[in-house]
Homo-oligomer: A and B are copies of this chain.
Amino acid sequence: MTVAKARPANRREQILREATIMFTAHGYDGMSIRGIAKCCGITESAIYRHFNNKEDLYESVIKRKAGQHDIKGTLAKNEGLDSIEDVLTFIAQDILDLASKNTQLMHLMFRSSFQSGPTALQLFMEIRLPYIEFLARELEFREKSGELQKVDPFTSSCCFVGMVMDCALNTGVWTTLTNQKFEAENVICNNVPIFVRGLMKSVVS
């Protein structure tokens, strides 16, 4: 009496989608093969036709997400911006856009960084690192050209990107925790200028 169900075009993709949802919501130990199977409307065994084991499935989830965004590529297209203000605004805007359109990605990045294994830092490397390296290069160049104060490009870049990432991750928290409004645009309007004034040599207030 075993009746085969309808087979969607690519089951593998569906499983990965559901597993991603599960993992972002409950973490590795909280995502169960059973639960994912149920969400897909198939049995657990069917999942093992597509993935060797749970760890394999997990790694595939991370790799898939990493493959969905080519940060390095999009950044490369935006080299040569005029002022440092443009650069910082662009980066902040880009990260906050990415985060708001793709909440999953951010949570996945932080969750996976707590996980052990080979894919622990993959999302950090493919999402966060490109931003940092991009900004660090811009800072280094502009520092040498005399536009900026004497600062350590890498540290400054890490901090700026970290600040924006932190905002992106916690926008929801602050609005529920306090009654203050705390939105992406405010961060850009408010803090990019602070950084700009702090970085530039001559200041026009």
Task: State the A residues within 8 Å of B (CB).
Answer: 26-30, 107, 110-111, 113-114, 121, 124-125, 129, 149, 151-152, 154-156, 158-160, 162-163, 165-167, 170, 173-174, 177-178, 180, 182, 186-187, 190-191, 193-199, 201-203, 205
Contacts and interface: CB of A to CB of B under 8 A. Distances in A.
A156 B186 CA distance: 9
B177 A125 contact: yes
24 contacts: A27-B29, A27-B30, A29-B29, A121-B177, A124-B173, A124-B177, A125-B177, A151-B194, A152-B186, A152-B190, A154-B178, A155-B186, A155-B187, A156-B191, A156-B194, A158-B167, A159-B163, A159-B166, A163-B163, A193-B198, A194-B195, A194-B198, A195-B198, A202-B205
A197 B190 contact: no
Contacts of A27: 27, 29-30, 114
B121 A191 contact: no
A182 B159 CA distance: 10
Given A29-B29, A196-B198, 19 more contacts: A27-B27, A29-B30, A121-B177, A124-B177, A125-B177, A149-B197, A149-B205, A152-B186, A154-B182, A155-B186, A155-B191, A156-B194, A158-B174, A159-B167, A159-B191, A162-B163, A166-B166, A197-B203, A203-B203
A202 B107 CA distance: 40
Nearest to A26: B29
A166 B177 contact: no
